[in-house]
Structure 1
Amino acid sequence: MIGEVSIGGVFLPTILLLGVAALLLTGVVSRLLGFAGVYRLVAYRPLVDVALFILLLGLLALLTGLSA
C-alpha cells in the first residue's frame, strides 16, 4: 500500500484515513458495549475506549497492509 491517498487532488496520509475509520468503529463498538453493560465491569471507561481505538487502528493497518 502506498503512503498517501489522493482525494480531489489533495494527498492525505493513509494513517489519517485509517484513524478516522478506527474512530468511527470505536464509536460503534463503544455504543454496543454500553448497551451490553460491559462498562459496568471496568474501572475507567476512557482508558478502555483509548485501548479499543488503538486495537482497531492496528487491526485496520494490518488488514490493509500498511504495516508491511
Structure 2
Amino acid sequence: MSLALTKMWISFAAMGFMFLSIVLIYLSRYKLKMRLLRILTAFVAYGLMIYSGIIIFIIVFSGPTIE
C-alpha cells in the first residue's frame, strides 16, 4: 500500500472519530440521565475530537506525497 493510500485511510479514520464524537456528545447532552455516564461519554467524545483534530493536522501539514 502506498503512502498516499495510507494517509487517506488514516484521514477516513479521523473523520469517523469526529462523527463518533458528535454522536457521543449528543447522547451525553440530551439522552442520558445518569450523571456519571454523561460525564464519561462527554470525556470520551471530547478526547476523540481532540485526537482526530491532531491526526488531521498532521496529515494536512505533512505535505503531498510524491510517488
Structure showing the higher strand proportion among its residues: 1
Structure showing the higher helix proportion among its residues: 2
TM-score (norm 1): 0.41
TM-score (norm 2): 0.41
